Amino acid sequence: MGIEPDRIHYSWISSAESTKFVEVVKEVTEKVKALGPNQHFAKHEAKVA
Amino acid sequence: MSEYNDKIKEISARLLKECQVDMVIGFRKGSMPMMNEPCFINNAEDAAQLVWDSNCGINLANYLTNRKEKIGIIAKGCDSRNIVTHIIENKISREQLYIIGVPCQGMIDKHKINAMFEGEIQDVAENGQKITVTIDGKENALEKADVLQKNCAVCIHRNPVIFDEMVAEPVEEQKDVDRYADVREIEAMTSEEKWNTFEELLSPCIRCYACKNACPLCYCPTCFVDESKPQWVGKGQDPTDVRTFHFLRAFHCGGRCTDCGACERACPVGINMRVFTKKLEKDSFEQFGWEAGLTLDERPPLDTYRPDDPDDFIR
Ligand code: SF4
Ligand code: SF4
Ligand code: SF4
């Protein structure tokens, strides 16, 4: 779609898997931070001519 | 194809005369070249208006949604697959339909032909595989194979998959066609290249919604684009909104699209928005072994669960 693959993550984490949850969240955060702010699908202020 | 014409008229007139159906949905000649228009025929005398040629690219399944009467419908390969989809989705019942199957030989691409010539096309005639385009009284000869709609060139289901009566013997299906060359080309791009390709592709879009209105799958009473509470997508031509519309529409067609090409055909500015639905069509096929509308006996992948559904994207 033109969205960087690292911006999107799917995971299945049971409510008993707290360590997995922490790991996944950390990893996702790192990956998204590395990409920087999203530029796509973000509406910018309307440009007035 | 004139033999198709006679047979279509004959069957339709018979069905109406014998009151087997309340109406027949087919095509009649349009007021412009390459634009046959859908028509509803209610009595046997009017069946003479029906025509069939290479300009019947509109998908007639679109006119079946929630109909109550008994209907005879002319169906080429792709229409028949959308009829199956309509039946599976409870938009019409099989018992209400008398399907007049037409073995299809492909539709011609009006965008392409219009772009090939300067000036206004007065007439487009066909004789087998030869197409004659008349402009300013001058005739230009074309080969049909060179001006087929892109989806027809790679179609592998030209014969109706469901019918009550056929107008002719089945045509030979195309074999060894590479259906997804265009999709693979996009898949091979980086995210940035994809983004830019789609930006360019969609930049002429005027949000007229002809593509969604031509599609038999787009039958929701209120489309998400028209909802205001909540408003899922802005209504203007902001590129973000245009893209949101196109992506969401495509996803709504996932596992349902038959690549009939009606959407692309309808677009007044010639956008090939079919690349989106085609990607989903490819995924449905490669990941779920599914081709939409081939059978009434199987549920589509999006409303069934199988233990072996692909899940390697989940960690
Ligand atoms: S997609 Fe296939 S069945 Fe449909 S019009 Fe084209 S060739 Fe015919
Ligand atoms: S999305 Fe386009 S190609 Fe697919 S079924 Fe609808 S009109 Fe046909
Ligand atoms: S038919 Fe063409 S211009 Fe109209 S909304 Fe669809 S893509 Fe945009």
Nearest to B85 by CA among B291, B282, B310: B291
B191, B241, B315 ranked by CB distance to A2: nearest: B191
Mention every residue, 6+ apart, whose C-beta is less than 8 A from residue B201. Answer: B271, B272, B273, B275
The per-residue pLDDT for B314 is 83
CA distances, B279 to each of B148, B192, B273, B284 (Å): 21, 18, 11, 9
B234 and chain A in contact, CB less than 8 A: yes
- As a whole number of angstroms, the distance between CA B37 and CA B56 comes to 8
Using the predicted structure, report yes or no on whether residue A48 has a pLDDT greater than 80: no
The per-residue pLDDT for A44 is 72
- Cross-strand partners of B130: B127, B143
With a 6 Å cutoff on the Cβ, whether B301 touches ligand 1 is no
Q: End-to-end alpha-carbon separation of chain A, Å?
A: 30
Nearest to B50 by CA among B8, B93, B112: B8
Mention every residue, 6+ apart, whose C-beta is less than 8 A from residue B63. Answer: B25, B38, B40
A2, A24, A43 ranked by CB distance to B194: nearest: A2
The per-residue pLDDT for B147 is 96
CB B132 within 8 A of CB B64: no
- As a whole number of angstroms, the distance between CA B133 and CA B151 comes to 22
Please count the CA atoms within 13 angstroms of the CA of B47 that sit on its side-chain side.
Answer: 23
The tens digit of pLDDT for each residue in B250-292 reads 999 999 999 999 999 999 999 999 999 999 999 999 999 999 9
Using the predicted structure, report yes or no on whether residue B53 has a pLDDT greater than 70: yes
Taking an 8 Å cut-off on Cβ atoms, the answer to whether A2 and B315 are in contact is no
Domain ranges of chain B: 1-107+153-177, 178-302
Nearest to B190 by CA among A49, A19, A3: A3
Using the predicted structure, report yes or no on whether residue A49 has a pLDDT greater than 90: no
Taking an 8 Å cut-off on Cβ atoms, the answer to whether B240 and A43 are in contact is yes
Mention every residue, 6+ apart, whose C-beta is less than 8 A from residue A49. Answer: none
The tens digit of pLDDT for each residue in B4-35 reads 999 999 999 999 999 999 999 999 999 999 99
Task: Please give, rounded to a whole number of angstroms, the shortest distance from the CA of A46 to a CA of chain B.
Answer: 9
Average of pLDDT values for B160-164?
A: 97
Range with the poorest average pLDDT among A19-28, A40-49, B147-156, B275-284: A40-49
The tens digit of pLDDT for each residue in B171-221 reads 999 999 999 999 999 999 999 999 999 999 999 999 999 999 999 999 999
**A45: amino acid identity, one letter:** E
Please, which contacts does B238-245 make with residues 24 or more away whose CB atoms are closer than 8 Å? B238/A43, B238/A46, B239/B199, B239/B202, B239/B203, B240/A41, B240/A42, B240/A43, B241/A43, B241/B207, B242/B202, B242/B205, B242/B207, B243/A41, B243/B198, B243/B199, B243/B202, B244/A41, B245/B207
pTM (two decimals): 0.92
- ipTM summary value: 0.80
Using the predicted structure, report yes or no on whether residue A42 has a pLDDT greater than 90: no
Using the predicted structure, report yes or no on whether residue A47 has a pLDDT greater than 70: no
Average of pLDDT values for B137-143?
A: 94
Q: What is the mean pLDDT of chain A?
A: 88
The tens digit of pLDDT for each residue in B79-132 reads 999 999 999 999 999 999 999 999 999 999 999 999 999 989 999 999 999 999
Using the predicted structure, report yes or no on whether residue B150 has a pLDDT greater than 70: yes
Using the predicted structure, report yes or no on whether residue B1 has a pLDDT greater than 80: no
Q: Which tokens sit at B287?
A: 């990941």
